[in-house]
Chain A
Amino acid sequence: MNKISDAFRNKKAFIVFITGGDPDIETSEELIVAMASSGADIIEIGIPFSDPIAEGEVIQRADERALANGCTVDKLFEMVERVRKKISIPLLFMTYINPIFRYGKTKFMRRCEECGIDGIIVPDLPFEEREEISRDCKEFNITRISMIAPTSHDRIRMIAEGAEGFLYCVSSLGVTGVRNEIGTDAVRMIEESKKVTDVPCAVGFGISTKEQAREMAAVSDGVIIGSAIVRIIEEYGNRCVEPVKKFVKGIRSAL
């Protein structure tokens, strides 16, 4: 079994997201270690991008802060290399396709493997374009996480059949960000995908409270929380580690 899907074994997985380099590389490094010790099962590290079209305002601002502070892909690789000596849970990069393409697809995946990245989520690389990176992912053992959305309908089977690691289930239409209410599409999407795959399904987009996390975990194999954590980082700056730990522990206890 894949190391990423292993993180779902015998429990509801808790997947956390931060933008790498927000507010700076050192804080991201501390945050990753702190979240791992506070009950996160998988950590997504966002590579900041100038034009993150799938993100809401909270993560857009995080990307801007990280870039303004000089964060680059190379600095993130070095950071992951250091972090890898301290923690063993799966680490994923969440990145738009252009930073991978421009870095060089093969070189990028090779560096991922060297540094200890286990998987990659590319929000602007749909099923139809997966071959752009699938060969390099395979060669360097980087799991490409597939996404399904409320609009996927009959596409779900096709996408789920080839899924590895886990299936990222986008809870509702729109961009990332905290939502008061999360639609009920997730239940239907997960049911559909379970017909064709054993790969676990995690729900993301909009989850911020214990109640929402518990509700989504009840119908899935795990939950993904991003904007709610990034909002804490925005509020506390480089003193965010303690409040983020507290938040992660709180969600963990609810699952």
Chain B
Amino acid sequence: MHKKGRFGIYGGQYIPETLMRAVLELEEAYERYKDDPSFVKELNELLKNYAGRPSLLYYAKNMTYDLGGAKIYLKREDMNHTGSHKINNVLGQCLLAKRMRKTRVIAETGAGQHGVAVATVAALMGLECEIFMGKEDTERQSLNVFRMKLLGAKVNVVTSGTMTLKDAVNETMREWVSGIDDTHYVLGSVMGPHPFPTIVRDLQKTIGKEIREQTEAAEGRLPDAVIACVGGGSNAIGSFYEFIDEPSVRLIGCEAAGLGIETKRTAATIATGSVGIFHGMKSYFCQDAYGQISPVHSISAGLDYPGIGPEHAHLSDIKRAEYVPVTDDEAVEAFEYLSRTEGIIPAMESAHAVAYAMKLAPAMRNDQAIVITLSGRGDKDVASVARYRGVSINE
């Protein structure tokens, strides 16, 4: 068995033959450019001057005091240009697409954060851009749909299947098969066929590197726990990767439990799924006994996905990272809590990580430190939280 693009038994390249040429070309291009000085320099300048890196590590004093346990730091990916960590990956992939002489980029999006980042960078780099988004998500994230259009992207509403992120991925793959000569698929998470899980992780691992430097500067040591939300898992792997060989650092991924892992209305893949092969990769998926992919649910469109990146599946199997379920209710409470306590409105996705930190921190000593990755900002979720609370507002 070849080991290329494998994380333990997970990963691989389970895609139609028509796409093989494209992923092999991408792999070749990535290997050529990832350490190429001019590519690295251009990317770093964009990350600094366009995206606004490094992102801040903010000591959440009020939250720390209120919870009465470990010191809490927030890794402020929400402060990046476009409002989430997605820009890190998109800048790298679009720059690579330019090097590969592609003129068009396509992408899936759930909450719209990835779609907005792709539309933004496409505008910057002069690439044609088409985004695929499930109908249900275009309704609950209508603000982001308009943002993408404003940025010059075409937004395709996906009405197949469950009309959410999984179906947007299906449709983007179908589109890619039709136009692979001039088109690059900017996959938004550490999922899909090799080399995507590796490329996206490499482009996101800057988050963890900064967490190390910034925590060492603030505390003189490593954090005791790093917590991040996990859908496909790109902000989580970006946060974790630097610490995989540091056993003193607990790595905790927060999955969307939806209405609860004992119900069918959940998206907690590690907690409720089983090993399967889908969307180009072997990993854990929510599926039935016949391998049909299950409809999943989360209040967060970005975590509403029935799979998880293959590297997370491996980290879970070898018990290097823990994956915990967080319900819609807990996430909404954390969303409101962080807004009230620190004056920071987190993305609903990131609120899942905040929710678990709220449980964990009080059980830890006050000489310990937790870093929560705030993967994105929550402006886009304000309307859906209002709906959740039964408040009628005009957006």
Contact A155/B21 with A102-B289, A149-B16 known, Cβ cut-off 8 Å: yes
* One of A49, A54, A125 near B292 (C-beta < 8 A): A49
B 142-182 binary contact with A (CB < 8 Å = 1; else 0) = 00000000000000000011000011001001100111100
Shortest Cβ distance from A153 into B: residue: B21
CB of A173 within 8 Å of the partner chain: yes
Are A128 and B293 in contact (CB-based, < 8 A)?
A: no
Q: How far is the CB of B197 from chain A (nearest CB, A)?
A: 15
* One of B14, B290, B291 near A125 (C-beta < 8 A): B14
B 252-294 binary contact with A (CB < 8 Å = 1; else 0) = 0000000000000000000000111111100001010111110
CB of B56 within 8 Å of the partner chain: no
Chain A residues near B173: list those with CB within 8 A.
Answer: 53
Are B18 and A173 in contact (CB-based, < 8 A)?
A: yes
Are B18 and A67 in contact (CB-based, < 8 A)?
A: no
CB of B13 within 8 Å of the partner chain: yes
Chain A residues near B277: list those with CB within 8 A.
Answer: 97-98, 101, 124, 132
Chain B residues near A125: list those with CB within 8 A.
Answer: 14
Are B17 and A73 in contact (CB-based, < 8 A)?
A: no
CB of B22 within 8 Å of the partner chain: yes
Bound form: Cα–Cα A124–B73 in Å: 43
CB of B359 within 8 Å of the partner chain: no
Contact A128/B276 with A102-B290, A174-B177 known, Cβ cut-off 8 Å: no
CB of A175 within 8 Å of the partner chain: yes
Chain A residues near B292: list those with CB within 8 A.
Answer: 49-50, 67, 99
13 of the cross-chain contacts (CB-CB < 8 Å) are A51-B166, A53-B174, A98-B285, A99-B292, A101-B291, A103-B290, A123-B16, A124-B15, A147-B16, A149-B20, A152-B21, A153-B21, A174-B18
Shortest Cβ distance from B291 into A: residue: A102
The secondary-structure label for the interface of chain B is: mixed
Are A174 and B178 in contact (CB-based, < 8 A)?
A: yes
CB of B12 within 8 Å of the partner chain: yes
Are B170 and A53 in contact (CB-based, < 8 A)?
A: yes
CB of B2 within 8 Å of the partner chain: yes
CB of A39 within 8 Å of the partner chain: no
Chain B residues near A132: list those with CB within 8 A.
Answer: 14, 277
Chain B residues near A98: list those with CB within 8 A.
Answer: 276-278, 285, 287, 291, 293
Chain B residues near A174: list those with CB within 8 A.
Answer: 18, 174, 177-178
Chain A residues near B391: list those with CB within 8 A.
Answer: none
Chain A residues near B160: list those with CB within 8 A.
Answer: 57, 60
Contact A126/B13 with A51-B166, A97-B277, A173-B177 known, Cβ cut-off 8 Å: yes
CB of B217 within 8 Å of the partner chain: no
Are B12 and A129 in contact (CB-based, < 8 A)?
A: yes
* One of A49, A103, A159, A175 near B178 (C-beta < 8 A): A175
CB of B1 within 8 Å of the partner chain: yes
The count of residues in chain B whose C-beta lies closer than 8 Å to any C-beta of chain A is: 39
Bound form: Cα–Cα A103–B160 in Å: 25
Q: How far is the CB of A34 from chain B (nearest CB, A)?
A: 27
Contact A151/B14 with A103-B291, A174-B177 known, Cβ cut-off 8 Å: no
B 366-389 binary contact with A (CB < 8 Å = 1; else 0) = 000000000000000000000000
Chain A residues near B2: list those with CB within 8 A.
Answer: 128
B interface vs A, CB < 8 Å? 1-2, 4, 12-22, 160-161, 166-167, 170, 173-174, 177-180, 274-280, 285, 287, 289-293
Shortest Cβ distance from A131 into B: residue: B1
Chain B residues near A127: list those with CB within 8 A.
Answer: 17, 20
Q: How far is the CB of A140 from chain B (nearest CB, A)?
A: 19
Chain A residues near B287: list those with CB within 8 A.
Answer: 98, 102
Chain B residues near A155: list those with CB within 8 A.
Answer: 17, 20-21
Q: How far is the CB of B171 from chain A (nearest CB, A)?
A: 9
Contact A151/B178 with A98-B276, A102-B276, A103-B291 known, Cβ cut-off 8 Å: no
Chain A residues near B12: list those with CB within 8 A.
Answer: 129
Bound form: Cα–Cα A56–B173 in Å: 12
Chain A residues near B14: list those with CB within 8 A.
Answer: 97, 124-126, 129, 132
Are B170 and A170 in contact (CB-based, < 8 A)?
A: no
Q: How far is the CB of A57 from chain B (nearest CB, A)?
A: 8
Shortest Cβ distance from B174 into A: residue: A175
Q: How far is the CB of A128 from chain B (nearest CB, A)?
A: 5
Q: How far is the CB of A46 from chain B (nearest CB, A)?
A: 14
Shortest Cβ distance from A155 into B: residue: B20
Q: How far is the CB of B132 from chain A (nearest CB, A)?
A: 12
Chain B residues near A170: list those with CB within 8 A.
Answer: 17-18
Bound form: Cα–Cα A132–B275 in Å: 14
8 Å CB interface, A166-184 against B: 170, 173-175
Shortest Cβ distance from B162 into A: residue: A50
Q: How far is the CB of A234 from chain B (nearest CB, A)?
A: 15
Are A73 and B290 in contact (CB-based, < 8 A)?
A: yes
Which one of B14, B18, B278 has the greatest number of beta carbons of chain A within 10 Å? B18
Chain B residues near A203: list those with CB within 8 A.
Answer: none
Bound form: Cα–Cα A123–B20 in Å: 12
Q: How far is the CB of A164 from chain B (nearest CB, A)?
A: 16
Are B18 and A149 in contact (CB-based, < 8 A)?
A: yes
Are A151 and B278 in contact (CB-based, < 8 A)?
A: no
A 78-101 binary contact with B (CB < 8 Å = 1; else 0) = 000000000000000000011111
